[in-house]
Structure 1
Amino acid sequence: MNPDGVPRKVLFVAGAGRSGTSTMAGIASKLGMHVPLPEVPPDASNPRGFSEPQWVVDLHDRLLKEAGVQVSDSRPSAWFETGRISTREPARIRVTEWLEPHFDVHPELVVKDPRLSWFLGLWRVAAIRTGAAPVFVTMLRPPAEVVGSKQKYYANKLGSAHLTASWLNMLLHTERATRDEAGSARVFVRYEDLLTDWVKTTMHVGNTLGLQSIVHTRSDLIREVHRFIDPTLRRVSSSLEDLALPPRLHELTAQTWEELNKLADPAGDVAAVHTTLDELRDAYTDLYEESEAISKSSVVAARIAGARAAADTAPPEEGGGLADRIPHDVRAKIPPSVRRGVRKALGRQRATEHSQGEQ
């Protein structure tokens, strides 16, 4: 494809980590779209590569830390914290300035990161400011497989209930954040469909979103993707029953998965499904707030235990010793010259006295 005259677009690949986002972004890249360099290098959890820009990952890590939000955060309120950052003008300027020069390489970019959904508003604004149309692909993989994959490859110790709740939180809010009344700026893709027939699935993405690199790709690039796709990439298979979830969480997860699957069907992204997903999002928020309200004692106990552990492992304070265990009112009666003499003899001058001596 000759990129001259092709309108600017940014394909944002969203969804929970371990749901096939790397596979989708990798296919788009191999068919001609551009992943801004440098990319995150492959590792044992994803030997075929992540197809995600290192700058984007580093940015999201910093922003999540600033917001006090985890990558797999199950709190509905976490979206408010990341949303506040997404509306800051300095952040928008920074992302816009990063995007702009990459269009010199190719007019169609791919931006993917498991943390991306937390800042979709930020990226949407930045893309529009560069004159590019933001379009979205959200990957769908059964929640039990996502949870199992995270536990296997990320050594996640937070438990199945937490990881399932974070999947619910992520997918329900990602769906709402990418919703477009025109219905032409997003596509939902089942990971299973991508592995089973990547050509049909990817061409549907390209045609729906108007991605010229995919629609007009070359035969040699198609052969390259055939070599890239491996049906055994789906290395974790499990069901919700295997997770032994609390009944209400199990019910909400099953209902949400059923409704999200409808969005991946032809002509399935309709108002009736949106309404049901809105109701499920409200129901999850209610469940979380109820659980949070009755678990305050656990939170306080964990905080106390953490403080005790930190105190037990903390190194002794500088200058600590026998003299510092003497009550303050007793030490105050000792003449300053005597106190300084004792510290000097012990080689423990106060930092202020030492710095004054250097001056």
Structure 2
Amino acid sequence: MAGALSHAGYVTPGALRGNETNPKGFFEPRWVVQLHKELLKRSGMLALDPDPEGLAIVAERALRDGLRDEVRSWLEARFEESPQLVLKDPRLIWFLDLWTGAARDLGVEPGSVVMLRHPAEVTASRSAYYDARDVAAVAGWINVATLTEQVTRSARTVVHYPDLLADWRVQFERIGADLGARFEPAIDQRPHPVDELIDPALRRMSPDWEQVAAPRWLRDLAERTYQALLRESNGEQVDPAEFDALRTEYLEDWHAAIGMTQVERRRTIRKAERRATRAATAAASAAVGEPERRGVRDRASSAARKLLGR
């Protein structure tokens, strides 16, 4: 989608080059990607993080003073080069308020194009290319999908990825109608630069729950979330209360899972504490006395608890 927009009058500033996994290019601004990676690393969050408190965690641990000014300055310089920008990054949802606020400071009202792919397809892709575990990947998809739905309600178009590959012009007509997007050349021009980019072979994974090692209840919730978003991508007006109910169900499941694993979590923390204590004590035993060794053990135990705190 970002590549198609970049061939229809929009600019992806400083885009990353393609590689063997994505030879046509990622169409992601390098500066934006590097900023988001730094902020997510600082917060300990993942791009598709399953934690429903993710936005609060990012705000508390990663957002620094002056960041909005920095983003606004970067945007302002890019707008001097082009009045129409497309910013794509898989991590963008965690910082959408930051970018929306900076854009509005500059008198620009942004809109969101939400790309929809089946959660089994996304999970297979992440397992193949990012070594993600299926349960966490499915949970992360549900969390990010329902969160994205919530924070983009004011101005968005949901586009089903296979529909984009099948007929990109139909999807661009919807984007133009929903978000007021303007395209150059006009989408009715034939041939069009986007025609050279769109290729059905860009879809390398197929949706198949049988190949996903996740519990049935989690797959069921992911499927129902996907189906609701799919209906919206087909032009149906989906009641926001339906999306809210899906989000609430995920929150309940998340807290239930945390509760069920508390005992094992405590065991894991205690094991880590004991290993860290033994290693630190062994390293210090030849050089320090008993009071110092106790201090080493206490610090090692505290470090282990912090390490496993989330």
Question: If the TM-score is normalised by the length of the shorter chain, which range does it land in?
Answer: 0.7 to 0.9
Q: Counterparts of 1:41 and 1:303 in 2: how far apart (Å)? A: 42
1:164 corresponds in structure 2 to 138
Structure 1 residues 201-225: Cα deviation after superposition (integer angstroms, max 9, x where no partner): 12321232111135736847x5332
Aligned residue identity for 1:299: R
The SS at the match of 2:21 is coil
Q: Counterparts of 2:198 and 2:276 in 1: how far apart (Å)? A: 47
Superposition RMSD in Å: 2.7
Spell out the pairing of 1:1-359 with structure 2 (5 A cutoff): 24-37=1-14, 39-84=15-60, 90-156=66-132, 159-180=133-154, 185-214=155-184, 216=186, 219=189, 223-266=192-235, 268-270=236-238, 272=239, 274-306=240-272, 322=286, 324=287
Q: CA deviation at 1:327?
A: 5.4
- Segments of 5+ residues of structure 2 without an aligned counterpart are 293-310
More relative contact order, 1 or 2 (CA 8 Å, 6+ apart): 1
Q: CA deviation at 1:196?
A: 0.8
Q: CA deviation at 1:301?
A: 3.7
Q: CA deviation at 1:137?
A: 0.3
Q: Counterparts of 2:257 and 2:205 in 1: how far apart (Å)? A: 29
Q: CA deviation at 1:298?
A: 2.9
Q: Indicate if the aligned counterparts of 1:31 and 1:218 stay in contact, CA closer than 8 A.
A: no
Q: Greater Rg, structure 1 or structure 2?
A: 1
Please, what TM-score do these two structures have when normalized by structure 1?
A: 0.74
Equivalenced residues, count: 292
Q: CA deviation at 1:166?
A: 0.2
Q: CA deviation at 1:74?
A: 0.3
Q: CA deviation at 1:305?
A: 5.0
Q: Counterparts of 1:168 and 1:91 in 2: how far apart (Å)? A: 29
Larger deviation, residues 296-305 vs 116-125: 296-305
Shift of the 302–229 alpha-carbon distance from structure 1 to 2, 3 Å rule, reads: farther
- Segments of 5+ residues of structure 1 without an aligned counterpart are 1-23, 330-359
Please, what TM-score do these two structures have when normalized by structure 2?
A: 0.85
The SS at the match of 1:188 is strand
1:9 corresponds in structure 2 to none
Q: Counterparts of 2:185 and 2:237 in 1: how far apart (Å)? A: 22
Q: Counterparts of 2:76 and 2:147 in 1: how far apart (Å)? A: 28
Q: CA deviation at 1:253?
A: 1.1
